Every structure is written in C-alpha cells, then in structure tokens.
Structure 1
Amino acid sequence: MTKSLLCLKKSINDLSNTYTTALLAYVFTLAGDMETRAHLLQHLDSVALDEGGFLHWSQTATETSASLSVEISSYVLLAKLSASPTAEDLGYSSRIVRWLTGQQNHYGGFSSTQDTVVALQALALYSTLVFSPEGSSTVTVQSPSGQLTFDVNQDNKLLYQEKMLQDVTGKYSLEVKGSACASMQLSLHYNIPTPTDVTTLSVEVKPNADCTSESHRPRLTLTLKSLYSGEENSTNMVILDIKMLSGFVPHPDSLKSLQRALLVDRVEQKEDHVLVYIRELPKDIPINHSLELVQEVPVQSLKPAVVQIYDYYHPSDQAETEYIYPCAAA
C-alpha cells in the first residue's frame, strides 16, 4: 500500500487531468495524507465551475459530458467529507450537493451506472453528516390551480412522496417551513420529434476466411477499423462491442493479443459478445484491431452479427455495422 501511494504521489506535479486529480484527492483523504490532500483540493477549488452558488467540475472547459462531470464532482465531494469535515467544509459541500441533485433523473439515477454509483455514495455520506434525529418540515407547492402540500417528519422522512400537477403551464412557487431537510424534484415528460442521428464514431469490419479449408473448426479473422471524427482532440473511453456469429467463439490466443493491442485498456467476454475497452480514439486517425473467431458448431442459414462502437460516457454517440461469414455467403 505504501509503495502504491508513493507511486501515485509522484504524479501530483501534473494536475492537468481533473478527473485524475479528483480521484487522487479522495485516495489521499482515505490514506490520511492531509498535506497531499490539501494540495489537490486547493487546485480543484481553483478550477471549480461556480454557477450561481452551485459548484461542479468538468474535465475541460469545452467538455460536455454530464456523466463525467457528475463523477468528478462526486469524488471531490467524497474527498471533502471523508476526513472529519468542519462546518465550513459542510457549507462548501452543500454547493456541490445542490448541483448534483439537479443532475438526477426522475428515477433518482444519473447518466450511467458508474456515475450513479459514485454520486449516490457521495450524497449518502453527505446525508449522514447533516442528519438530524429531530425536526419536521412542510413543503408547499403553489400552482395556478391550487396548492400541493408535503409533510416531512420523523415517521416518513425516508418515504418518497409524489403528486401529479394538474396544470402544466403557469408559474409555480415553492415554500418550505420547518427544520427538517427535504429534497424536491420536478419532472416534466413530453414528446419531441425524433432527432436526426449525429455520431462522431464509426467502425468498419472486414471478415477474412479460407473457404477452401477442410478443417472441422473453420477460422474467421475480423479486421476492425475504429474512427473518431468529432471536434475534440480525442474521445473519452470507447467501447467496441463485437457480437459473435452463431456457432463461433473467440480464439483464446487472439483475445490475449487483443488485450495487448494499441490503446486497449481491457477486454471482456460476456456470453456471445466480446467487449473491447479502448482508452481513447484520437481525432481522424483510424485505429485497427483484429480478432480471430473459431467455428465450434456449424449453423445453417447463418445470419449477420453486429459490431457496435459507442462512447462510454455518451452511449448515444454510437455507430454500428454488420459482418457475415464469407464462406457461408459464398
């Protein structure tokens, strides 16, 4: 553990990556290194985005990933609250909490599984620190058609309460009286025309096989070309999801080679899919990978399989293509 912390400590001279800095601040808080923690938090405070008293962080000034901002801000919150926070720390943290709760969807989650887990952990820690065993509050929502009242007391403080607004159009006001803490959220559901698909990612697949081979276990080599053509210099982490053709499985040696391939962070095999985690894709530079498949079970009328590429933090930024077994097509 000591050697790991020493290794991490060597990296604090370069704080250009806000995500890494926030994560390091939390790590050194848990490790009890208050000097390093203070240095990291001081830098994070200098790059914080203050919008009307709400605090949050993003990877860069032009970064638009809400998911990444939620995760970074949550790690800062965890770092602030995990070392006997003062009243000043709690006041500072409340500004982060106000921003975080504003990013929640109406199900209570955020953009992805990862940012949801970290954010809920941070919010839960804040909740335990500001918890009061006493007090109650009445929340009144004034609408054009009347008012809605929510009572929050010691008997129902963990109960989720929801009421339907009768009028969508109009001016609403919110008033809270009492001494208990309550979180209020307004959810508006509406339909919009289907937007035109815009993606900055693309993937091409070329299947190659020796159709003259009489092997009982024919092999198929997939050559995959991934490309990013967006406005940034590079992407976030990108997932390449390769579905297997029916009856085919990835060759174990090929999986190991893929794990060591250019920009590949890790490779996972889940049922009939191979997931390739690519650290980033540079702008306008095709990145090539290959994967060899082996046919274990012959299948009649073999259908094409899909290869999908998508941004880990922006799953909607995705593209897909299909490939076939050329010998079956022949």
Structure 2
Amino acid sequence: MSIYNLHTDGYKYWHQAEVAKTTTHTYWTPPHQSNAADTEITSYVLLTYAEKYDFTGVLNIMKWMTSQRLPHGGFSSTQDTVLALQALSQFAKMAYAKNFDIQVHLKAGSFSHSFSINQRNALVLQKVELPSIPSNVQVTATGHGIALVDVAVFFHADAEVEAPSFEMTVELLEETINSLSVKTCVR
C-alpha cells in the first residue's frame, strides 16, 4: 500500500494508491472528487496536527477536507464522515479564539444579505435562500476569526435524465486572507 502527500490548487491531502480491483461489482458512487480512504487518511493527519497544536500548513488540509463534503454535510461513507467531522471539530477547537467577530456580506445580483458571527452564535447555522439564481455571487468577510461559507445549488428534475442537462464549472480567480473570488459557469 502506497500513500502519497499531494498538493493541488492550495489544498493538501493524502492519497492511497488504488489497487486493481478483483471483483466485478459496480456500485453507485456520488459525484465526488476523492475516495473515502483519502478522506480518512487526511483526517488522521489533521487530528495529528491538532493533537500537536501545530497550525502550520493545517489550513490547506482543512480546506481540502471541507471541499470533499457532500451538499448535506457528510462525506462518501459513514466511516470517513465520522473521522472527518472529528478532525474538523478538533481543528475548530484549535482555531477558536474568544475575541472572534466576523461580518460576512453576500451579494447576488440585486440581493444582498449580511451575517454576523460571534461568540454568541458561532455554533448556529446561518443560511439564506436566494430569491433567484444569479449569474454572480460575491461573498466578502471582515473581522477576526475563521468561518466556513458554503454556497450550494439544488435543483429538481421531474423525470430521470438520460443525458446530463446540467453542468457547472468552478474556477478560483483570486484568494486573499479576507476574500475569495470564484468564477462559476452553469449550462
């Protein structure tokens, strides 16, 4: 078994080389970038960083792990979900500061909304549904601390679709400590 430390687009994770499968069973797998083993291995690495209270380089690991989440917050399997949530919880404990106060501003077309994240509401999910699908969503944050912002698109199809009728690409344009600029194209 070979395990590789990989760096991709500012993300850091560990990958287990796949062994040729001997079975012919095929199971549905979610449209997901990594396999459960990669999430589990990377979770153990993040837990190790948290145990040593080593903040160096851990943000790139946390960013990769959160990018692997499925739309409702879980991961590929029950086991990697448990490990990933435990590792992310330990990261949150390590990153927590008593004086955090973050203002997140969302602008989507003519719609705008602001969130305030502080010690009183840090454990409360704050969300807003957009009144329509905009061509551009801009999220900015100011203040002190770390927050996870997740943008999700859901749609309903009345019947099973033979050919893909929905395609979305996401390109990171610019990333700074306070902002993230992403270009999203939908067809």
AA at the equivalent of 2:124: L
**1:69 and 2:38 aligned:** yes
Q: Is the 8 A contact 1:152 1:180 kept in 2?
A: no
Alpha-carbon contact 1:144-1:167 (below 8 Å) kept: no
Tell me which amino acid in the other structure corresponds to 1:78. L
Secondary structure at the residue paired with 1:48? strand
Is residue 137–residue 180 contact of structure 1 (8 Å, CA) maintained in 2? yes
Tell me the distance in 1 between the aligned counterparts of 2:142 and 2:34: 36
CA contact (8 A) 1:58 1:69 kept: yes
Greater radius of gyration (CA): 1
1:124 deviation in Å? 0.8
Provide structure 1 residue ranges, at least 5 long, that are not aligned to the other structure: 1-15, 19-46, 197-330
Query: Which letter maps to 2:110?
Result: S
2:144 corresponds to:
179
CA shift at 1:92, angstroms? Answer: 1.0
Q: Which residue in the other structure is 1:98 paired with?
A: 63
Aligned 1:218-297 pairs, distance under 5 A: none
| Partner Cα separation in structure 1 for residue 81 and residue 127 of structure 2 | 22
Which deviations, in whole Å up to 9, do the C-alpha atoms of 1:89-120 show, x marking residues without a partner? 31311110011111112322111110000001
Residue 126 of structure 1 deviates from its aligned partner by 0.8
> Is 1:150 matched with 2:115?
yes
Q: Is the 8 A contact 2:5 2:12 kept in 1?
A: yes
C-alpha displacement of 1:147: 1.0
1:145/1:167 contact within 8 Å kept: no
CA displacement 1:176-227 (0-9 Å, x = unmatched): 011032111111112464459xxxxxxxxxxxxxxxxxxxxxxxxxxxxxxx
RMSD of aligned alpha carbons = 2.3
Q: Structure 1's 170 and 121: CA in aligned 2 closer, same or farther, altered over 3 A?
A: same
| Structure 2 equivalent of residue 125 of structure 1 | 90
Provide closer, same or farther for how the CA distance between residues 62 and 151 of structure 1 changes in structure 2, counting only shifts above 3 A. Answer: farther
Q: How does 1:1-330 map to 2 (within 5 A)?
A: 16-18=1-3, 47-60=4-17, 65-83=34-52, 85=53, 89-191=54-156, 193-194=160-161
Q: Is the 8 A contact 2:35 2:76 kept in 1?
A: yes
Where structure 2 has 5 or more consecutive residues not aligned to the other structure, the ranges are 21-32, 164-187
User: 2: distance between equivalents of 1:99 and 1:65?
Assistant: 10
Q: After TM superposition, what 4+ stretches of structure 1 lie above 3 angstroms from structure 2?
A: 61-65, 191-196
Amino acid at match of 2:39: V
Query: Structure 1 or 2: larger helix share?
Result: 1
Q: What's the CA shift for 1:75?
A: 1.2
* Separation (CA, whole Å) in 2 of partners of 1:181 and 1:168: 27
**TM-score, normalization: structure 2?**
0.71
| Structure 1 residue 77, shift from structure 2 partner | 1.1
Letter in 2 for 1:60: A
| Matched AA of 2:11 | F
Q: Matched residues in 1 for 2:76 and 2:48: separation?
A: 22
1:140 and 1:160 mapped to 2: Cα distance?
A: 15
The change in CA–CA distance for 1:59 and 1:147 in structure 2 (over 3 A counts) is same
Q: Which residue of 2 aligns with 1:41?
A: none
Percent identity over paired residues = 29
2:169 maps to which residue?
none
Aligned amino acid, residue 64 of structure 2: W
